[in-house]
Structure 1
Amino acid sequence: MATATQTTSLNFTNIETLTGSNFKKWKEDIEIVLGLMDLDLALREYQAAVITTESTTDQRIKSEKWERANRISIMIMKKAMAQSVKGGIPKHTNAKAFLAAIGEKYIESGKAETGTFLTQLTSIKFDGVGSVREHILKMADLALKLKDLEVVVTDQFLVHMALNSLPAKYGQLKVSYNTSKDKWGIDELISMCAQEEDRLKTDKNAEVHFVQTEKGNRVPSTSPMNTANKKKKKVNSYPSIKNTNTFKGSHKLKPVNTENDKDKECYFCKETGHMRKNCIGFKNWLVRKGVLKNKGNKQ
């Protein structure tokens, strides 16, 4: 089990140094550390009973415990204060009175705090950063701070404010609440919103997966549909034989027919009487493609 000295070394560094603008955080750290060290007795009570010859053993033990807690608490608070702040605090031999004196230097106007918290509560919107549970808990914390300042925020008012702070994608949840005969508490609202948040995330992931799948689908090359499209798109690789005589000197290309070619069909122009190698249209096409030189052009 850790001794008091070990506990002090482990927790004293957790206290944020009081610089003037962080009193609330500093006070919270002081209370936590002194509580963990079992020294918060001096903060809860001003002073134990004065020890006399008639004091009981229990009274003596309690008095000694309070004296020790009081002395160490003051030492820790002074150690956790900036030098510029420490000089402006009146000296006290009582830890509770010393903490109260520090608080008097940093007391804030209740009206100003009320206005700040109300503005935050009425203007806060859920922007999708973090979870919706954290968002509503933050609003509940603002409502609790207002309650401490004697501004009561009912659960029903907080539920309406929380629903209004949600984006349009939570519209289905808002409709469910408005059409329901039962009134939701803040805990029930948090549970319903968390479920709706999970549903929206699931739907979004499913939609993204569907879009990616659709984009990734391709008709296989061996598919009958793909084969049919290829047949439709297939065109004759040979150019049209119309206006084949527009090339200079093309009239000099004449077919050479033989007796054996009279009944044969040309694969190029589909006419009988000559073969493709002797076809004028085919030779003109070769000239146009640059495969065959046009003898009518002078080199």
Structure 2
Amino acid sequence: MFGFAAPHMTSLNFNNIETLTGSNNKKWKEDVEMVLGLMDLDLALREEKPAAITAESTADHKAKVEKWERTNRMSLMIMRKAMAPSVKGGVPKQDNAKDFLAAVGEKFKESDKAETGTFLTQITTMKFDGEGSVREHILKMVDLAQKLKDLEVPMTDQFLVHMALNSLPSKYGQLKVSYNTQKVKWGIDELITMCAQEEDRLRNDKSVDVNFVQGEKRKRDFTQGSTVAAGKKKKKEISSSFKNANIISKGSHKIKTANVETEKENECYFCKETGHLRKNCNGFKNWLVKKGLLKNKGDKQ
């Protein structure tokens, strides 16, 4: 039966067994059972040793005994090979693979009370922080509940549903309200489905919000850019207007500009008022009179 590339199969699957070092017994046992099962070598772990062959034994019985003995021998070899030397020496030698696996378990047996306390602490303090998926988070809680059940600490599905909902962050508040207002109670499978749907909805809403914010930012940047460009253009036009209005004669009271539309639009150089030039400014004339630079028309010559 093992003629089909047995060496290759043994090498390939044997490498998948994590070496037993003393702190990984559960993982090691799972790997051993999986590998032996895939290689069809777990018969000695599943069935008791058949009766010895006698002169009256049938061909089928002889074949069954031979198969069991071979799988038993191969299982023992694989298990011992996947153990650290220090651990291997502490396990009593056994001729039966099933008994050998049980002996290994006894060496690493943990207190049921300690395990129960550990699992209860883990399941009651678990919180979904957004890492991974909500489905994976709830399945971890289901696994802990099953371990507690194996330790004779049963946990009902409804209690687990409430614990799972309480472990979700505030953004799942709408889902919690929906469950609390319904008369129908959810099972674990329904809870996982509803939480996964809510996770997808929250993810899509977040994507829409991000796109909206980015669109508004681009629109605001474009508007601000247009306003700045218009301001620069206006400033440039004003600057050009002032440059064109060059003063031709600075020392004379006759002010000439290159861009004069009407006299009323000019500003008086003396009083700074608009509507007249300095030559027509009464204030300027009075000032000249006071300085003696101009005679008052009422004075006699």
Q: What TM-score do the two structures reach when normalised by structure 1?
A: 0.77
| 3-state secondary structure, aligned to 1:78 | helix
Letter in 2 for 1:219: T
Q: Kindly indicate whether residue 178 of structure 2 is the aligned counterpart of residue 154 of structure 1.
A: no
The residue number in structure 2 matching 1:295 is none
The residue number in structure 1 matching 2:43 is 41
CA distance in 1, matches of 2:262, 2:135: 87
Q: Kindly indicate whether residue 28 of structure 2 is the aligned counterpart of residue 26 of structure 1.
A: yes
Kindly state the Cα deviation for residue 267 of structure 1 after the two structures are TM-superposed: 6.2
* Residues 46, 94 of structure 1: 8 Å contact kept: no
Q: Structure 1 residues 222, 29: closer, same or farther in 2, change over 3 A?
A: closer
The residue number in structure 2 matching 1:177 is 179
Kindly state the Cα deviation for residue 253 of structure 1 after the two structures are TM-superposed: 3.9
Kindly state the Cα deviation for residue 46 of structure 1 after the two structures are TM-superposed: 3.0
Kindly state the Cα deviation for residue 85 of structure 1 after the two structures are TM-superposed: 0.7
CA distance in 2, matches of 1:129, 1:78: 39
The residue number in structure 2 matching 1:5 is 7
Alignment gaps of 5+ in structure 2? 243-249, 268-273, 285-301
* Residues 41, 69 of structure 1: 8 Å contact kept: yes
CA distance in 2, matches of 1:181, 1:206: 33
Letter in 2 for 1:117: F
Aligned equivalent of 2:141, options 133, 139, 142: 139
> 1:1-299 maps to which residues of 2 (within 5 A)?
2-217=4-219, 218-219=222-223, 253-256=251-254, 265=263, 269=267, 270-273=274-277
Q: Structure 1 residues 191, 254: closer, same or farther in 2, change over 3 A?
A: same
Kindly state the Cα deviation for residue 256 of structure 1 after the two structures are TM-superposed: 3.0
Identity between Structure 1 and Structure 2 (%): 66
Q: Structure 1 residues 46, 216: closer, same or farther in 2, change over 3 A?
A: same
CA distance in 1, matches of 2:12, 2:133: 33
Kindly state the Cα deviation for residue 57 of structure 1 after the two structures are TM-superposed: 0.8
CA distance in 1, matches of 2:115, 2:169: 28
| 3-state secondary structure, aligned to 2:141 | helix
CA distance in 2, matches of 1:127, 1:257: 79
CA distance in 2, matches of 1:29, 1:17: 10
Letter in 2 for 1:143: A
* Residues 123, 141 of structure 2: 8 Å contact kept: yes
| 3-state secondary structure, aligned to 1:14 | coil
Kindly state the Cα deviation for residue 37 of structure 1 after the two structures are TM-superposed: 1.1
Q: Structure 1 residues 135, 271: closer, same or farther in 2, change over 3 A?
A: same
Q: Structure 1 residues 90, 222: closer, same or farther in 2, change over 3 A?
A: closer
The residue number in structure 1 matching 2:293 is none
> How many equivalent pairs are there?
254
Letter in 2 for 1:120: Q
Kindly state the Cα deviation for residue 3 of structure 1 after the two structures are TM-superposed: 2.3
Letter in 2 for 1:190: I
Structure 1 window deviating more from structure 2 (265-274 vs 121-130): it is: 265-274
* Residues 20, 84 of structure 2: 8 Å contact kept: yes
* Residues 266, 277 of structure 2: 8 Å contact kept: no
Q: Structure 1 residues 268, 85: closer, same or farther in 2, change over 3 A?
A: farther
Letter in 2 for 1:87: G
Residue deviations 1:130-187 (CA, integer Å, cap 9, x gap): 0101001110110011010011110000000000000001000000000001000010
CA distance in 2, matches of 1:94, 1:143: 33
Letter in 1 for 2:223: V
Alignment gaps of 5+ in structure 1? 239-251, 281-299
Kindly state the Cα deviation for residue 272 of structure 1 after the two structures are TM-superposed: 4.3
CA distance in 1, matches of 2:225, 2:152: 76
Letter in 1 for 2:142: A
CA distance in 2, matches of 1:49, 1:161: 52
Letter in 2 for 1:189: L
Kindly state the Cα deviation for residue 4 of structure 1 after the two structures are TM-superposed: 2.0
CA distance in 2, matches of 1:92, 1:222: 87
The residue number in structure 1 matching 2:288 is none
Letter in 2 for 1:161: M
Q: Structure 1 residues 123, 271: closer, same or farther in 2, change over 3 A?
A: same
Aligned Cα root-mean-square deviation (Å): 3.0
